[in-house]
A and B are shown apart, each in its own frame.
Chain A
């Protein structure tokens, strides 16, 4: 890659969202705005090596994109009254007006619109809000560039077909739609935090990108406690990155992590973000409760110092807000840590009976862990083997199979407590 290309990409990451957002507001169509912006980027790549990077690169790109839009409409004979009016207005402007911050917010809501599927929301958000190239996205998601391109093209077509307005939602829809944006950002983060595919356990690049999107959103909606809370949650979880993987890349579970390697500055930022959420005095929502749980871990100097009673309470509150079975499972893990495995097993069995998490490795992995702690090794081996067969991440599978091996050895030598497999909880779920 040439120096200019790298410089243009850097400018695009900084300015791209504002450029696309301003164009989308003017032409009323995200897809068209993105295409125009890309044409402007192509011009930049051709011209900037000669001319240098303009001082106001964002305005330069917007101006070029607008000119291309007018040319395109004329060429396609699409200069009906609406476009004629836009073109007139643009041609009268002497300089590029500053984009509104709200444009970027509209961009986020549009990219995460409910007419789009999850994958499309993720790809489009990273592309237009995060300013990532299709090549970067393909690398991040371990798929061919063409796959990403198709996802983005389809997403833009879907938005156009559904006539999705480039706007922030009505007050009635606001909370639901904001929640959707937050869940897309968090999905990007978790894909980095516990990669579901491939052989890498932690994908820092994706997680950092999600954190940046979260911070951008917090800047745009400072009065929304859940936005600050999501940032807090991501900061707390990301603070453990360095401690979550061994030198060979295999996962290190929460009880065994070297807490000296947790990033204190990041924990401090997490504390600040959660305090900002709480300071709005609107109670703790879904992300704030999760952040508070992550904070309990972050402030415990040692695994043994973890305030499990408090974590149990926080999970109970969270369980009333969401029907998510993973929350119930985590609650069970916390109960096992606060009151022992015997108290937690019925909670997990209830989830099994309800077939709450079909085809997920989480349930058998936690159940196996509890059974091991209760000394029911044979049943534990069978559960953990099932879990290993279901898990998608190779690193994670290795951890489960190691536990199985330890239990088998333990049984063979007369059931002596094998430190690791008897474990300290921290399986898969609360495990990172």
Chain B
């Protein structure tokens, strides 16, 4: 089973984290990542840069509207993720609880779809299309 650990922050927790020496956060996160790697459960993970560097695409209107960050007041800002592979949900819970996050931060944990979830759609045209597109890409890369 694969789980995505989604780090969510609020304005307060981001402010609070700025009061902690960055080195300290780096060390705590580094140690946590290392423990995931050493246990052989880490598949991938990334932290995200300041929201001010990002933008939002809004699909409310006919044409999508792109707005630069910051987003104004944030309650649930997506700040980074890990993808881990575990044998059980409980194991994912245990790893999530060990994440070194402070008050105001939350981890939302979601199961990542596996191929086996789509078994009945094997012949779906998009699954087939994806194959064709990849071949196109491969050909381009070769030339």
Interface residues of A (CB under 8 A from B): 6-7, 9-11, 13-14, 53, 101, 204-205, 208-209, 211-216, 219-220, 241-242, 247, 258-261, 263, 265, 269, 301-302, 305
Closest chain A residue to B139, Cβ basis? A301
Whether the Cβ atoms of A212 and B94 lie closer than 8 Å is: no
A14 to B127, CA, bound (A): 36
* A212-B85, A301-B138 known; A14 vs B39 contact (CB < 8 Å): yes
Residues on B with C-beta less than 8 A from A208 are 85, 87
Shortest C-beta distance, A203 to chain B (Å), equals 13
Closest chain A residue to B41, Cβ basis: A212
Q: Pick the most buried of B94, B134, B135: most chain A CB atoms within 10 A of its CB.
A: B94
Give me 27 A-to-B residue pairs in the complex whose CB atoms sit less than 8 angstroms apart, sorted by A's number. Answer: A6-B88, A9-B88, A10-B88, A10-B90, A10-B91, A13-B88, A14-B39, A53-B94, A205-B87, A211-B40, A212-B39, A212-B40, A215-B37, A215-B42, A216-B40, A242-B116, A247-B119, A258-B122, A259-B134, A260-B127, A260-B131, A260-B134, A261-B115, A263-B115, A269-B43, A301-B135, A301-B139
B55-89 contact mask (Cβ, 8 Å, vs A): 1 or 0: 00000000000000000000000000000011110
Closest CB-CB distance, B1 to chain A, in whole Å?
Answer: 9
> Secondary structure at chain B's binding surface: helix, strand, loop or mixed?
helix
- A contact residues around B115 at 8 Å (CB): 241-242, 261, 263
B127 pairs with A261, CB closer than 8 A = yes
CB distance from B30 to the nearest CB of A (A): 14
Complex formed: what's the CA distance from A204 to B122 in Å? 19
Residue of A with least CB distance to B127: A260
- Known A10-B90, A216-B38; 6 more pairs at CB < 8 Å: A13-B88, A204-B116, A213-B40, A216-B39, A260-B128, A265-B43
In contact, B138 and A261 (Cβ under 8 angstroms): no
Select A265's contact among B44, B91, B130, B139, beta carbons within 8 Å: B44
Least Cβ–Cβ distance between A355 and chain B, in angstroms = 40
Alpha-carbon gap, A272 to B37, bound state (A): 15
Q: Which of B38, B41, B87, B94 contacts A11 (CB 8 A)?
A: B94
Q: Is B16 an interface residue (CB 8 A)?
A: no
Interface centre among B40, B41, B91, B138 (most CB of A within 10 A): B40
Interface flags, B100-120, vs A, CB<8A=1, else 0: 000000000000001110011
What are the interface flags for B15-58 relative to A under an 8 Å C-beta threshold, 1 for contact and 0 otherwise?
00000000000000000000001111111100000000000000
Closest to B85 in A: A208
